[in-house]
Amino acid sequence: MYVRANQDTRFHIDLEWWSNEHRNFRRFLSEILDDSEADLAGGEPMDFIDGATAEVYALDPLWVRVLTERANRDDYITPTTPLAAAVLRALLENLNRPMTVVQLHRRINRSNPDTLLKLMRTARAQYGIVPVVEG
């Protein structure tokens, strides 16, 4: 379904897109970790407790490592991180809870919401970032 996005549109990572496009989401996570030795074959989901809400999420073990080892570091999202990758990292850090371009702008502290909205048109082709279909 086509969604006409605006600054109030919430975006998230379509995790099914990664497998449908024959892209390896775990490889992307291992690249964030700088871990060429990471087991990319998959693993049982791990429980991750969101420190802010106390909600429990069943996440890929590499995603949990990104959250615990990298997301809290200053170099997780930098001014040199490609913009689409910065958006993806912000969504990863937010446990893939949908975010608007205004929220993403505040998190990555780059560009502006209008530019991010334009970027979202190509973000699906790069990382499977899509609008949330309200319904």
Domain-wise residue ranges, the chain: 10-131
pTM, two decimal places: 0.91
Residue 1, pLDDT > 50, answer: no
Q: CA-CA distance, 71 to 68, in Å (whole number)?
A: 7
For the segment 80-107, the average pLDDT, to the nearest whole number, is 96
Residues in the chain: 135
Q: HSE of 23 in the Cβ direction (CA atoms, 13 Å)?
A: 14
User: Which amino acid does the sequence have at 74?
Assistant: D
Q: What are 97-130's pLDDT values in tens digits?
A: 999 999 999 999 988 999 999 999 888 888 999 9
Q: What are 60-77's pLDDT values in tens digits?
A: 999 999 999 999 999 999
**Percent of the chain scored above 70 by pLDDT?**
96
Q: Looking at residue 4, what is its pLDDT? A: 82
User: Which amino acid does the sequence have at 89?
Assistant: R
Q: Looking at residue 135, what is its pLDDT? A: 61
